[in-house]
Amino acid sequence: MSNEIIKVPDIGSSDEVEVIEISVKAGDRIEEETTLIVLESDKASMDIPSPMAGVVTKVLVSEGDKVKEGSPILEVEVEGADSAPATEPEAAAEPEPVIAMAESEPEPAPAAEAPASVGREEIRVPDIGSSEAVEIVEVAASVGDELAVEDALITLETDKASMDVPSPYAGKLVELVVKEGDKVVEGDLIGYIEVVGAAAPATEAQPAKAASPSQAEIVSAAPTPSAPSASAPAPLANKADTQVSATSGKVHAGPAVRMLARELGVDLTQVVGSGPKNRIVKEDLQNFVKQVMQQTKATSGTVAAGGAGIPPIPLQDFSQFGKVEEKPMGRLLKAGAVNLHRSWLNVPHVTQFDEADITDLEEFRKSVKAEAEKQGARLTPLPFMIKACALALKAFPQFNVSLGGAGDTLIWKEYINIGFAVDTPDGLLVVVVKDADKKSVYELARESSDLAARAQNKQLKGDDMKGGCFTISSLGSIGGTAFTPIVNAPEVAILGVSKASMKPVWDGKAFLPRLMLPLSLSYDHRAINGADAARFTAYLAQQLSDIRKMLL
Ligand code: CAO
């Protein structure tokens, strides 16, 4: 056994930085890579991981201390090492600090040379503490968004850290040149922002000055997208909805806390930080999860409602039966699994089955398919279904709601955005056609095939998956007679569509061969009653059976 002193490694700056969090205490057993302390400079927050395993004997710093490279952090008793006295700092393996861009004090926005002018400013990837390309795992803002200084733009992730890159300016995001999955390095272009009060083009070459508070206030007074307030999160990989809430407030937390939050599926904007400058520390996250679990227990009367208390499925050693290989799930698959499980546990599902006679619709569709193609529209049955669902939501607005508050209010939506599931090589994605009720079938055909193609080619923009009111899951081109889709909460209903087939239908005098389309409507029984669900599917079937009705 020997005692080793762990010191601050190279943190990329010779300036002193503040210790804002101490993550261990004397007596703690630590492993290599355990976060010891969190440092914060004006540019970044850094987790300092341990370079060795052992037991902490003494913590040599306090919160608020200023440290730099070489400052002692703590003393560790290392098992198995020879009993030499504390090693020289240089002898200790240098841990690699885990760096996240600080959201608290971003780069200042350029000053207004002419207060009322509008300038187009480049946003580039800042110093991310590494020269290696880093993957963009989330694009949190969309073109058209009004951003405040510090609003998250993109999230980068390495195997060691996740980093939010905040907007250095307040203004309107007018162009995004990156997408999820891209790899970037310092200096790469992220996009352009139209900054009110920024230097006008003629004065752009002049050196930028710090933004004045009043300028920032004027810009951030513009409306920003609000987070959905419904109780349950989206079950399918409708990641953008989570992004809305994730970007709607300033989050002040280190990379380790962010990673833990990501693993637990916690939206950090909902967590109140107790650390310096309202920083969210690990205990805040633990308390938040505890509180949510207790609330679920209180409202349901049983622990099992939120998933807790359900006996886990025991893991088996499958290798005893044959060769196996364990591989990590892809990100999309993992996100989908969490969301689907959450919805399955939270939403009391009922599925209503019906059939629509689409003989005439199909005849009509085939007769105009070539003409539609000339107008750039791929006319599959999907755009007709989108149209029919949009009309059904208009006729039955109780399907266009989300549960609010503690499940005791309903949020009624006055817009009709229809999402549909797309099967991609990486997993399921839900893309959203906005204002579907206001668009023609040709427009819906063009938009839906464009969205599906972009989903399959990983070219979706954040906005493409946001704001859905109702989802269609169409498995019709593949097969099946019926299925029970899981509601894409916080929506309250989802339509599953299976393969149409010819069936003998009795018209009162004879059996006629008709093309019948199976419909499976799953709904949240807290918001919708069974009779309304039956009316809804009957209405849908009517619309699809008589194309003229849809056009009226
Ligand atoms: N019955 C019979 N045939 C159907 C059909 C149905 N319900 N729906 C589509 N088809 C046929 C059409 O006849 C069409 O061919 P033609 O236009 O040449 O006649 C062909 O299938 C088109 O199929 P498509 O899949 O290329 O296009 P689409 O517009 O029907 O669907 C999309 C697009 C993105 C919804 C689909 O590709 C997809 O990904 N579906 C899977 C969704 C999924 O995985 N859901 C499960 C979610 S878990 O709840």
Q: Is residue 531 part of a domain?
A: yes
Please tell me the pTM assigned to this model.
0.54
Residue 72: domain span: 2-78
Same-domain pairing of 298 and 439: no
Same-domain pairing of 406 and 495: yes
Which residues are designated catalytic?
525
C-alpha 500 to ligand 1 mean position (Å):
11
Q: Is residue 458 part of a domain?
A: yes
Task: Identify whether the C-beta of residue 176 lies closer than 8 Å to the C-beta of residue 122.
Answer: no
Nearest Cα residue to atom 21 of ligand 1: 477
What are the residues whose beta carbons fall under 8 Å from the beta carbon of 38, sequence distance 6 or more?
Answer: 19, 20, 21, 23, 45, 46, 47, 48, 254, 256
C-alpha 27 to ligand 1 mean position (Å):
60
SS (H, E, C) 505-530: EECCCCEEEEEEEEEEEEEECCCCCH
Whole-angstrom distance, CA of residue 238 vs CA of residue 240: 6
Q: Between the CA of residue 322 and those of 62, 316, 317, 318, 325, what are the distances in Å?
A: 54, 12, 10, 7, 10
Whole-angstrom distance, CA of residue 257 vs CA of residue 226: 24
Specify the ligand 1 atom closest to the Cα of 379: 17
Residue 446 one-letter amino acid: R
Same-domain pairing of 179 and 58: no
Same-domain pairing of 25 and 140: no
Tokens 């070219």 -> residue: 459
What is the tally of structural domains in the chain? 4
Pocket of ligand 1 (CB under 6 A): 380-382, 420-423, 428, 452, 473-477, 485, 497, 499-500, 517
| DSSP states along 447-474 | HHHHHHHHHHTT---GGGGS--SEEEEE
C-alpha 381 to ligand 1 mean position (Å):
8
CATH number of the domain bearing residue 182: 2.40.50.100
Q: Is residue 307 part of a domain?
A: no
What are the residues whose beta carbons fall under 8 Å from the beta carbon of 265, sequence distance 6 or more?
Answer: 233, 338, 342
Q: Is residue 313 part of a domain?
A: no
Per-residue pLDDT of the chain (552 residues; tens, 9 = 90+): 788 999 998 877 778 888 888 889 999 999 888 889 888 776 566 778 889 999 999 999 998 899 998 999 999 999 765 444 444 434 344 445 545 444 433 343 343 333 445 688 999 998 877 788 888 877 888 899 888 887 778 877 765 566 778 888 889 999 999 998 899 998 999 999 998 765 433 333 332 333 332 222 222 222 222 233 333 333 333 333 333 233 334 567 776 777 788 778 888 888 888 776 677 888 888 888 887 776 655 544 443 344 457 788 888 899 999 999 999 999 889 999 999 999 999 999 999 999 999 999 999 999 999 999 999 999 999 999 999 999 999 999 999 999 998 889 999 999 999 999 999 999 999 999 999 999 999 999 999 999 999 999 999 998 999 999 999 999 999 999 999 999 999 999 999 999 999 999 999 999 999 999 999 999 999 999 999 999 999 999 999 999 887 776
